[in-house]
Structure 1
Amino acid sequence: MMRLVRRGLMFGNLFEVRSPTLVERYNRALEHLTGRRTALTDFHVDISGYSPEIGDEFGDDHYLNPNGCNRQFIVLSTEQKTAPLLNAKFSTSRSILRRWMDENEAQLFALTAKDAVAGELVNSVFSVERPNDLLAIRRIEVEADTTASTVEDGKILQGKIDRFLQENDAWWDDVLIAEMIEIGKKTGDITRNPVVFTHNSFEQRNFYTSHFGGLYVFRDLDEAAVISTQDIEDVSDWDVEYAMDFTQRNDIATFLAANNLVEPITSARGRDVAAILQQKLDFIVVDTAAELGESVENPDRRALRQLARRNLKHLPREYEGLYLLWQWARGQGDWPRITSEHPAYFYTLRASDHADKDLVNMLLAELAPLDVRQLFICHKEAFYRTYAGWSDAKKDYVAEYLASEYMMDKAGAREELFGHEPAMEEPAPARAAQKRKPVEQPWGRRREDDDDDDDDDFDEDDRDIVQRVGPWGAVKRR
Structure 2
Amino acid sequence: MNPLVERGLMFANLIRVDSPAWVGLYNRALEKLTGKTTALAEFHIDLTGLSPEVGDELGDLDYLAPRGGNRQFILLTTEQKTAPMLAADLSVYPAILRRFIAENESQLFSLTARDAVVGEIDDDVWQLAQPADLLDIRKVRITADTTGSHVAEADKLTAMIDRFRSQPDAWWDDVLIAEMIEQARKSGDVTRNPVRLSHTSFDVPDFRAPAFGGVYVIRSAPEPAVVFADPSQQVPLGGVQVMSLSDRNAIAAWLARNGLAEQVTASGGAATAAVLRQKIDFVLVDAATEARIDPGDGSRAALRRAAARLDPAALPPELPGLGAMLRYVETGGDWPVIDSANPAYFYALRATTGPWQGTVNQLIAELAPHDVRTLFLVNKPVFHRLFQTWDAAKQAYVADQLAREYQIDRQGTRAALFGPEPGMAEPDQAGPGTAAAGPRAGAAVPAGPWGPARGDRGPAPRGGPWGAAR
Q: Residue 294 of structure 2 contacts residue 306 of structure 2 at CA under 8 Å; is this kept in 1?
A: no
Aligned-residue RMSD, C-alpha? 2.6
Q: Residue 226 of structure 1 contacts residue 244 of structure 1 at CA under 8 Å; is this kept in 2?
A: yes
Task: Sort the Cα spacing of 1:467 and 1:170 in 2 relative to 1 into closer, same or farther, 3 A.
Answer: farther
Alignment partner, residue 204 of structure 1: 204
Task: Sort the Cα spacing of 1:243 and 1:437 in 2 relative to 1 into closer, same or farther, 3 A.
Answer: closer
Alignment partner, residue 390 of structure 1: 390
What is the SS of the residue equivalent to 1:118? strand
Alignment partner, residue 442 of structure 2: none
Distance 1:454 1:360 in 2: 25
Distance 1:111 1:94 in 2: 21
Distance 2:450 2:467 in 1: 22
Alignment partner, residue 365 of structure 1: 365
Alignment partner, residue 374 of structure 1: 374
Deviates more, 1:308-317 or 1:36-45: 308-317
Alignment partner, residue 244 of structure 2: 245
Q: Residue 69 of structure 1 contacts residue 128 of structure 1 at CA under 8 Å; is this kept in 2?
A: no
Q: Tell me which of 429, 438, 443 is aligned to 1:435.
A: 429
1:146 shift after superposition = 0.9
Relative to the length of structure 1, the TM-score reads 0.89
Distance 2:452 2:45 in 1: 49
1:188 and 2:180 equivalent? no
Distance 1:419 1:27 in 2: 44
Distance 2:173 2:217 in 1: 56
Q: Residue 62 of structure 1 contacts residue 68 of structure 1 at CA under 8 Å; is this kept in 2?
A: no
Q: Residue 29 of structure 2 contacts residue 117 of structure 2 at CA under 8 Å; is this kept in 1?
A: yes
Alignment partner, residue 320 of structure 1: 320
- Superposed CA offset, 1:308-331 (max 9, x none): 222261221101111111111112
Task: Sort the Cα spacing of 1:456 and 1:223 in 2 relative to 1 into closer, same or farther, 3 A.
Answer: closer
1:301 shift after superposition = 3.1
1:256 shift after superposition = 1.1
Q: Residue 252 of structure 2 contacts residue 438 of structure 2 at CA under 8 Å; is this kept in 1?
A: no
Distance 2:468 2:89 in 1: 32
1:469 shift after superposition = 7.5
What is the SS of the residue equivalent to 1:160? helix
Task: Sort the Cα spacing of 1:192 and 1:390 in 2 relative to 1 into closer, same or farther, 3 A.
Answer: same
Query: What one-letter code is carried by the residue in structure 2 that aligns with 1:93?
Result: Y
Alignment partner, residue 145 of structure 2: 145
Distance 2:447 2:238 in 1: 48
Which aligned pairs between 1:401-440 and structure 2 lie closer than 5 A? 401-423=401-423, 427=424, 434-437=428-431
Distance 1:119 1:58 in 2: 20
Alignment partner, residue 109 of structure 2: 109
Distance 1:50 1:329 in 2: 45
Q: Residue 249 of structure 2 contacts residue 436 of structure 2 at CA under 8 Å; is this kept in 1?
A: no
Alignment partner, residue 179 of structure 1: 179
Distance 1:351 1:223 in 2: 16
Q: Residue 206 of structure 1 contacts residue 356 of structure 1 at CA under 8 Å; is this kept in 2?
A: yes
1:377 shift after superposition = 0.4
- Superposed CA offset, 1:327-354 (max 9, x none): 1111255321122121111001111121
Alignment partner, residue 305 of structure 2: 306
Task: Sort the Cα spacing of 1:270 and 1:364 in 2 relative to 1 into closer, same or farther, 3 A.
Answer: same
Distance 1:306 1:381 in 2: 32
Q: Residue 46 of structure 1 contacts residue 86 of structure 1 at CA under 8 Å; is this kept in 2?
A: yes
Alignment partner, residue 30 of structure 1: 30
1:107 shift after superposition = 0.9
1:329 and 2:329 equivalent? yes
Distance 1:168 1:72 in 2: 43
Deviates more, 1:295-304 or 1:108-117: 295-304
Query: What one-letter code is carried by the residue in structure 2 that aligns with 1:350?
Result: R
What is the SS of the residue equivalent to 1:220? coil
- Superposed CA offset, 1:393-445 (max 9, x none): 1111111111111011111110111132543xxx36x8xx642458998469x
Alignment partner, residue 162 of structure 2: 162
1:290 shift after superposition = 2.1
- Superposed CA offset, 1:50-99 (max 9, x none): 11111112222221112466211111100001111112121011111111
Q: Percent identity?
A: 47
1:265 shift after superposition = 1.0
1:292 shift after superposition = 2.4
1:204 shift after superposition = 1.2
What is the SS of the residue equivalent to 2:407? helix
Distance 1:456 1:123 in 2: 44
Deviates more, 1:72-81 or 1:40-49: 40-49
Alignment partner, residue 97 of structure 2: 97
- Superposed CA offset, 1:6-64 (max 9, x none): 11100111111111111111111111112221222211111111111111122222211
Task: Sort the Cα spacing of 1:41 and 1:462 in 2 relative to 1 into closer, same or farther, 3 A.
Answer: farther
What is the SS of the residue equivalent to 1:355? coil
Distance 2:175 2:225 in 1: 59
Distance 1:386 1:394 in 2: 11
Relative to the length of structure 2, the TM-score reads 0.90
What is the SS of the residue equivalent to 2:144? strand
Distance 2:322 2:239 in 1: 35
1:255 shift after superposition = 0.9
Q: Residue 261 of structure 2 contacts residue 349 of structure 2 at CA under 8 Å; is this kept in 1?
A: yes
Alignment partner, residue 443 of structure 2: none
Structure 2 unaligned segments of length 5 or more: list them: 440-445
Task: Sort the Cα spacing of 1:127 and 1:332 in 2 relative to 1 into closer, same or farther, 3 A.
Answer: same
What is the SS of the residue equivalent to 2:57? helix
Number of equivalences: 456
Q: Residue 336 of structure 1 contacts residue 443 of structure 1 at CA under 8 Å; is this kept in 2?
A: no
Structure 1 unaligned segments of length 5 or more: list them: 445-452, 472-478
Distance 1:434 1:372 in 2: 30
Task: Sort the Cα spacing of 1:356 and 1:22 in 2 relative to 1 into closer, same or farther, 3 A.
Answer: same
Distance 2:74 2:452 in 1: 51
Query: What one-letter code is carried by the residue in structure 1 that aligns with 2:247?
Result: Q
1:168 shift after superposition = 3.7
Q: Residue 268 of structure 2 contacts residue 329 of structure 2 at CA under 8 Å; is this kept in 1?
A: no
1:293 shift after superposition = 2.6
